[in-house]
Amino acid sequence: MTTRVIILNGGSSSGKSGIVRCLQAVLPDPWLALGTDTLVEAMPASMRAADGGIEFAADGEVVVGAEFRRLEAAWIAGVAAMARAGARVVVDEVFLGGAYSQRRWQEALGDLRVLWVGVRCDASVAAGREVARGDRTVGMAVAQAELVHQGVVYDVQVDTTRTEALDCARAIAARVE
């Protein structure tokens, strides 16, 4: 069975997006790149102000409500449907719920071959990237650095603290069947 989905999980500013772009360059077949940012950007702006939506607190905490979870579940099912229809998909994720978040994906993906990738980065390095980017709430990187990995089981882990995205992508690509 060939790998249909690669899920990269890591905190904000850990380097996932750069790895995804590099994976698309080094993998021999075309892979679609989707991620939690894609989902949030697809939602109406009102979802960032409603109690049931998603809130980015000033201290970097991310709070999600029931309506966000409902739309997220539909999105996850849609990603799984694309993979079942023949697309290869790389997902850039942030498992705010740790193992619970992974289980939601596992249930939706069922018997599809998935490569689970943990993207780690020292919290202080991620925080520096966060400030340099200027498009993130300061504090997210530190708040998420370890939280997103709690209880999550990976096939491979990479650490972007001192390793370039391309080298991480090559390590991941070597595990794709």
| HSE-CB of 111 using CA atoms within 13 angstroms | 1
Catalytic status, residue 122: no
Name the active-site residue from 29, 37, 51, 159: 37
Alpha-helix runs per DSSP H in the chain: 16-26, 36-42, 66-84, 99-109, 123-133, 140-144, 165-173
Helix (H, G, I), strand (E, B) or coil at 1: coil
Residue 166: Cβ within 10 Å count: 15
Q: What are phi and psi of 86, to 5 degrees?
A: 115, -10
CA-based torsion, 103, 77, 113, 17: positive or negative: negative
CB atoms within 10 A of CB 110: 10
Q: Which residues are catalytic?
A: 37
